[in-house]
Structure 1
Amino acid sequence: MKRIWKWGLRLFVVLFIGQLIYIVVLKWVAPPITLTQIGSVLSGRGFHNKNMPSSAVSENARLAVIASEDQLFPDHNGFDWKSIQKAMEYNRKKPGRVRGASTISQQTAKNVFLWQGRSWIRKGLETYFTFMIENIWGKKRILEVYLNVAEMGKGIFGIETAAQTYFNKPAKELTQYEAAAIAAILPNPLKLNVKPMSPYVSSRARAIVQQMNFLRPDRDIQRIIQAN
């Protein structure tokens, strides 16, 4: 038993150091592939992706996902505790439905390091990785990676692939409404479509544009969405 314990401890130390190094490396290097992307291939959706630096992505795209997914992104430490509390209360009152409250940081941690699901083990790991990337990567890098790894349609990963697929243009040239339309499907990219666009997605895109116009002058927002 002592020998097994020692080997188990050594394995834990090796894995811990390995994942820490991997997190640090990803501050500058694009994730090679994620479990979600592997799952997309195995499920038959395919995998189409092209990683792009922030300088090759429209400021509209960065602002659109903040307006759509996480308007407090510049201000929190990775977790929007008020939204989490509201989601927990909602889920307790209506157990047949599930409302999430994930920030962009949490979604990035999940997409890069973990698998899809709602188990407590995965949520615990998500909390750990969110804390790590907030402190090692910083907001700009988190947003850059999120825009490259998020699924934006069936088998469509990243803003560059989405821009080329839906609008036949590079992500650098996305207009405000086009970026908002892509952001509008992020809550459920396997069921919602940019083309053909449903009335729901169109309405949501217009609402996102309004939020973009409201958020754009904010100095904290500007520090994050401006390219390096």
Structure 2
Amino acid sequence: MRAVLRAAARLFTLMLLSVMALQLYFLARVALMIVVDPQSTSFQRSEAWRLLVEKQQILWAQEWVDYERISPHLKRAVIASEDAEFAEHSGVDWDAIERAWERNQRAEALAERLAAQNERRAAKLPAGKAPAAPRPAKVVGGSTITQQLAKNLFLGSERSLARKGQEFVITMMLEALLSKQRILEIYLNSVEWGEGLFGAEAAARHYFRTGAQSLGVMQSARLAVMLPAPKRFEKRPNSAYVAGRAATIAARMGAIDPP
């Protein structure tokens, strides 16, 4: 019995040391970003591999530009769209998480009611026929810009408590070591704006044939609209939804004071 306990204690110690070593690795990487621009993110590397496997080529566009060379309109638009409390919170917006949880609960309850109705309809249909499957509940996130950056820099896209916990830890590291301005600079230079399209400079040139520094109010608002689902919106960047949502974001931009 004692041998088993000693083995379990050694295993626990090794696991604890591994977790600590991983956190020190993340901490060192974040600290390096104080002075060194990150060359790539975990998400970008996974996308490059996906493109290579699926299309046997990597069509890629990204160009780093300093904070001062990014239009203040784009900074305001992205904050207004993605994280209105960016300048005030310490990395995690608990109110936004609570609101997202409540919306997801309502969406899940609606999806369950629709599924029950679908089953009742199926029972009344002739054999061999089935009603159209209801759409799955849409999951709404409450992640801040800092949390999104933490995930993109170091983590995968899987959903688990362990991954979310690690995201929170890295978020705290980013907020502790980097200024809000630096966090936003890295985010705007690394976020996805289409398949193989990363960063404000590449997005501005791809969609508007101009540089990130020259983006106007509505151009910036349109780019901000695309962020939650860039691969979907890049197919119809001038859709009615994008235009309407961009107008809403543009109206909110005046209240945003970027860092």
| TM-score, normalization by structure 1 | 0.87
CA distance in 2, matches of 1:31, 1:124: 23
Query: Which residue of structure 2 aligns with residue 211 of structure 1?
Result: 252
Q: CA RMSD in A?
A: 2.0
Query: Which residue of structure 2 aligns with residue 123 of structure 1?
Result: 164
* 2:36 is the counterpart of 1:29: yes
- Larger CA deviation: 125-134 vs 44-53: 44-53
Q: 2:60 aligns with which of 26, 41, 47?
A: 47
Question: For the structure 1 residues 56 and 11, does the alpha-carbon distance in structure 2 shift closer, same or farther, using more than 3 Å as the test?
Answer: same
Counterpart code for 2:171: T
Q: Does the CA-based 8 Å contact 1:166-1:194 persist in structure 2?
A: no
Q: CA deviation at 1:7?
A: 5.8
- Kindly provide the CA deviation profile for residues 133-165 of structure 1, in whole angstroms up to 9, marking residues without a partner as x: 111112111111110111011111110110111
Q: 2:23 aligns with which of 16, 38, 43?
A: 16
Question: For the structure 1 residues 191 and 15, does the alpha-carbon distance in structure 2 shift closer, same or farther, using more than 3 Å as the test?
Answer: same
CA distance in 1, matches of 2:186, 2:94: 23
Q: Report SS of the residue matched to 1:71.
A: coil
Q: CA deviation at 1:94?
A: 2.4
Q: Does the CA-based 8 Å contact 1:181-1:194 persist in structure 2?
A: no
CA distance in 1, matches of 2:212, 2:81: 17
Query: Which residue of structure 1 aligns with residue 138 of structure 2?
Result: 97
- Kindly provide the CA deviation profile for residues 87-111 of structure 1, in whole angstroms up to 9, marking residues without a partner as x: 1122223223211111111111111
CA distance in 2, matches of 1:5, 1:117: 25
Residue-pair matches, total: 218
- Larger CA deviation: 111-120 vs 88-97: 88-97
Counterpart code for 1:41: A
Q: Which runs of 5+ in 1 are unaligned?
A: none
Question: For the structure 1 residues 82 and 170, does the alpha-carbon distance in structure 2 shift closer, same or farther, using more than 3 Å as the test?
Answer: same
Counterpart code for 1:94: A
Q: If you compute each CA radius of gyration, which structure gives the higher value, 1 or 2?
A: 2
CA distance in 1, matches of 2:161, 2:23: 20
* 2:226 is the counterpart of 1:185: yes
Question: For the structure 1 residues 9 and 123, does the alpha-carbon distance in structure 2 shift closer, same or farther, using more than 3 Å as the test?
Answer: closer
Counterpart code for 2:75: R
Query: Which residue of structure 1 aligns with residue 187 of structure 2?
Result: 146
Q: Does the CA-based 8 Å contact 1:193-1:201 persist in structure 2?
A: no
CA distance in 2, matches of 1:21, 1:151: 25
